[in-house]
Amino acid sequence: MKINLNFLLLIFCSLLITSCSDKDASKENASDKKDRDMFGYKATRGLTVSTEGLSDGYVMFPVANSPFIYLINRKGEVVHQWKGNYGVMNSYLQDDGSIILQADDPDYPVFGEGGPYGRIQKINWDGKMVWDFEYATDQYIVHHDIAMLPNGNVLAIAYEVKSYDEAIANGRKPELTVADGPWLEKIIEIEPQGKHGGKIVWEWHLWDHLIQDNDQTKSNYGSVKDHPELMNFNLGHHPAPTISEDSLDILKAQGQGGGRNTTGGNRGSGIFHFNAINYNADFDQIVVSSPAVSEIYIIDHSTTTQEAAGHKGGKGGKGGDFLYRWGNPENYQRGDSTNRQLFGQHDIRWIEKGKPGAGHLSVFNNDLSGRKDSLDYSAIYEIETPVNEKGSYPIENDKAFDPEKPFWVYVAPDTISFYSSFISGAHRMSNGNTFINEGARGRFIEVTPEGKTVWEYLNPYHGEMREPNGDPVNPMNMPYSTFRSTFIPANHPAFAGKELKPLDPQPTVFKLPPPEKENKK
């Protein structure tokens, strides 16, 4: 059965939507700038900036509230499309022209918010489903992001349910614990088998790498400051304000109550909310992002599953403990709020070999209003980690991990016109420019190292999937929002022997319906 869930409604809770909308509206009036409309209601859609000398290539992105992934050329014309059978969160192009995508399973239970989707699928160039793997039960579900390994296996972020009693027994404070218990993060490596099979060949659980300084009777009690390789279990999202199920149903009807499985007992269960994963083959390491605590973490993939559950083993010698962390040293008590660098970030990744900055990390730093030095704005950070040739990350006693500041930063010339409080991403291109997805607005831009915009396209598409009962989906608040978009160079192996001509006719662009007029008495 098809489902019309807009995957973006699973990204964040109703309070964030309301907060962002209210703040955005007030600042638009204050600044008298239409580009302060974070969701792009008033923005011109399609190709808006194109300059001479652009690198030849294409842009791939999922269409909100639809099963489609589009490939556009530099003129903004759709030249190819893949179609799944569910809503799509994100996709990765393979050398044979197929895509590995994250599909919104219509029947997954329990999980209500925080980006769950439930299925990983492979669709070939001609649109045939060649692999469909479900990982969704009442105990676990894949969410947010995946990463491809050189051997064809897939790394995926997943939630695993822990009960309220388990959380308290492991040292989480009762006042920080939701009634139905938290969802802890894990990472699984899936070996595709057949058309529907998948074997879990490696896994890592955050549950095995927690510390707390609240209850000395618990086995994981210790000094947070002395153990930066562990996660303080009393960080992360707090329980949402108590609300009745009737009130929650009203919010859901308005598109502001979280996902279909959200209840009064699990709002805020995804306490660490990992939202991105990337792999470094040179060091056999994984990097993940936790916007809930505004930090990124690097862990060792060279371990066995048994070693990953402990504190020894692997090339790094630390088992599954953090090799490196960055963004918010206050989390491990080696800094304060003035040392914080990341604010609800997304899309952490290593810059690839052959590209300027190779080996550095790049990240979309979503909401720097947390600095209290400006109105809301976003930035792209390039981070030069202190990694040595062996893949180790030295840290001094009582000091935070380096660097103190990012290596390179992009913000808009006026700062505030570039802003997405959630989703979004960025990656380095071979020519040294950076391709950016300003997710909330569905705005894709290419910027030079000096910050000049040389190409800009605003997604004009929105799908027509419906609610299970057949009702249409209200496109507000996020009609054009895009979790990720990816620049793909024209010489990518996937395009070998393929003639990429504009589709005729082009897909129909989406026009927002006029606002409903209030009934006059």
The tokens of 109 are what? Answer: 């239970």
pLDDT of residue 458: 98
The tokens of 325 are what? Answer: 């962390």
pLDDT at 226 over 90: yes
Q: Is residue 500 part of a domain?
A: no
Q: Is residue 1 part of a domain?
A: no
pLDDT of residue 261: 86
Euclidean distance between CA atoms 266 and 512, whole angstroms: 33
Whether the Cβ atoms of residue 322 and residue 299 lie closer than 8 Å to each other: yes
Could you give the count of Cα atoms lying within 13 Å of 331 in the half-sphere of its Cβ?
A: 28
pLDDT at 371 over 90: no
Q: Is residue 411 part of a domain?
A: yes
Whether the Cβ atoms of residue 426 and residue 380 lie closer than 8 Å to each other: yes
Q: Which of residues 293 and 267 earns the better pLDDT score?
A: 293
Q: Is residue 436 part of a domain?
A: yes
pLDDT digits (tens, 9 = 90+) for 133-180: 999 999 999 999 999 999 999 999 999 999 999 999 999 999 999 999
Q: Is residue 164 part of a domain?
A: yes
Q: Is residue 510 part of a domain?
A: no
Euclidean distance between CA atoms 287 and 342, whole angstroms: 15
**pTM strictly above 0.75:** yes
Q: Is residue 250 part of a domain?
A: yes
Count the domains in the chain. Answer: 1
Could you give the count of Cα atoms lying within 13 Å of 321 in the half-sphere of its Cβ?
A: 17
pLDDT digits (tens, 9 = 90+) for 42-81: 899 999 999 999 999 999 999 999 999 999 999 999 999 9
CATH of the domain at 229: 2.130.10.10
pLDDT tier for residue 110 given thresholds of 50, 70 and 90: very high
Domain boundaries, position 449: 7-495
- Whether the CA torsion 135, 139, 143, 149 is positive or negative: it is negative
pLDDT of residue 451: 97
Q: Is residue 519 part of a domain?
A: no
pLDDT at 264 over 90: no
Q: What is the distance, to the nearest Å, from the Cα of residue 363 to the centroid of all Cα atoms in its chain?
A: 11
What DSSP state is assigned to residue 129?
Answer: E
